[in-house]
Homo-oligomer: A and B are copies of this chain.
Amino acid sequence: MAGVAEFTKFPSESLKVGKGFKLAEVDPDTTPGYPGNKADGEALLEELDDKLAELQEKLFAESKFGGTKRVLLILQGMDTAGKGGIVKHVLGAMDPQGVQFKSFKAPTPEERAYDFLWRIEREVPGAGMLGVFDRSHYEDVLIHRVHRWADPKEIERRYKAINEFEARQVAVGTKVIKVMLHISNDEQKERLLARLDNPAKHWKYNTEDLKQRAFWDDYMAAYQAAFDATNTDHAPWYVVPASKKWYARIAVQQLLLEGLGEFDLEWPKAEFDVEAERRLVERS
């Protein structure tokens, strides 16, 4: 990677939510651990595409021979925080065959008739898959807390249920990576205005977003509370400064590279006699 600026400190360390973490102290405009500029970041993203795709293919390959490893990337953030951009520009580099994507919207009447984890459970990644949740079960402790759709006791019950649910995923071989894309209030305003300026983006503009924007501080408090209650060793949170889109993308790419890297993935060994098989093919 001659000439492409790399991270000097890994996002898995520098962006990890730790003891005493305060969301209010994170500056969304910064680029922690990365010394390069936008052009450097874009070059790095492209440079590492192939490495990420190879790791994902190895993960997929292992599962064909009994491997149980898998990844669940959870993306949260305020409207316009860039979740869709992560999906397109980071996940898009991998083989669609091995990526299991799910966008969670407001629950349907059927979904509401069950416990909040019912619809989530059905979308968890199978062995060998890289699962991505665009929003998730965290909405049930974020928007529900902000608007008091659930009382404090119920929110506490959900935190506990979430921790148990995520521990179960980890127990079957899932690496759970939870990401909050953190933009500033001003940056959201800029992005909403940019959507209004571009007719090709009007379909993404939802008048509901502005109503939620009015609750900004309550959302930040709800995120802080969620970090306090659900940042576990088995399923840690990462807060990614996201006012610079290019930075958020390379940071999430790194988190995936590091997470997959920890799996020590190898190409599965042939379970057949390669030479004998070659002779059979040649004669066929």
Residues of A within 8 A of B (CB): 61, 64-65, 84, 87-88, 91-97, 99, 101, 103, 132, 134, 189, 192-193, 196, 199-200, 202-205, 207, 210, 213-214, 267-270, 272, 274, 277-278, 280-282, 284
Complex: A281 Cα to B94 Cα, angstroms? 36
> What's the number of copies of this chain in the assembled complex?
2
Check B280–A210 contact: CB distance below 8 A. Answer: yes
Q: Given A92-B92, A97-B88, A277-B205, do A200 and B267 touch, yes or no (CB 8 Å)?
A: yes
Identity of the chain B residue whose Cβ is nearest the Cβ of A132 in the assembled complex:
B96
Identity of the chain B residue whose Cβ is nearest the Cβ of A90 in the assembled complex:
B96
Residues of B within 8 A of A200 (CB): 267
20 contacts across the A-B interface (CB closer than 8 A): A88-B95, A88-B96, A92-B93, A92-B94, A92-B95, A96-B99, A97-B103, A97-B134, A189-B281, A196-B281, A199-B270, A202-B267, A202-B268, A202-B269, A202-B274, A203-B267, A205-B277, A210-B280, A210-B284, A214-B284
Taking A65-B203, A205-B277 as known contacts, 18 extra A-B pairs with beta carbons closer than 8 A to each other, sorted by chain A number, are A61-B204, A84-B95, A84-B97, A88-B95, A88-B96, A91-B96, A92-B92, A92-B93, A92-B96, A97-B103, A97-B134, A189-B284, A193-B278, A196-B281, A199-B269, A202-B268, A210-B277, A210-B284
